[in-house]
Amino acid sequence: MSSTISAQLDSIDALAGELTALAGALSDDAERCASAAGALAAGLNRDEGLTAAWAAGTWAALARAVAEATHAVGSTLGAAVVSYRAAEAARAESIGRRRLEYVAVAW
């Protein structure tokens, strides 16, 4: 069974850009969390400071992982759009060449 998939490449490309920007913001948040871990450890009592620093460090690691995955998805979508557009351009060129190969003859 054959099925047709329709995609709006401009929309997918815009989504890829938004995901890439979001990945950058998440990465910045991860760095802020990591730097806060040291401040929490220094600013609070020993046990509370260590617990808070551990939580901030763990949150930073999670934010980094989400940022990396978001960037990977954005990059993959962007690359897919470039690939599909190149394939469509090649197909259009191929169709154009086939039309030129045939000459109309009047009867």
Task: Output the pLDDT for position 17.
Answer: 96
User: pLDDT > 90: what percent of the chain?
Assistant: 61
DSSP 3-state of 39? helix
Nearest residue to 23 (alpha-carbon basis) of 90, 70, 78: 70
Average pLDDT over residues 69-73: 98
C-alpha span between 22 and 10 (Å, rounded): 18
Residue-wise pLDDT tens digits, 80-104: 999 999 999 998 888 876 665 656 6
Residue 58 pLDDT exceeds 70: yes
Q: Which pTM does this prediction carry?
A: 0.75
Q: What is the mean pLDDT of the chain?
A: 89
Nearest residue to 5 (alpha-carbon basis) of 63, 80, 62: 80
Q: What is the DSSP letter of 101?
A: H
Domain boundaries, the chain: 9-101
Query: Which of 78 and 4 is assigned the larger pLDDT?
Result: 78
Q: Which of 2-11, 47-56, 72-81 has the highest mean pLDDT?
A: 72-81
Size (the chain), residues: 107
In the chain, what is the straight-line distance between the N-terminal and C-terminal CA atoms, in Å? 42
What's the angle, vertex CA 64, arms to CA 82 and CA 54, rounded to 5?
A: 175
The helix or strand, by DSSP H or E, that contains position 46, with its residue range, turns out to be helix 46-101
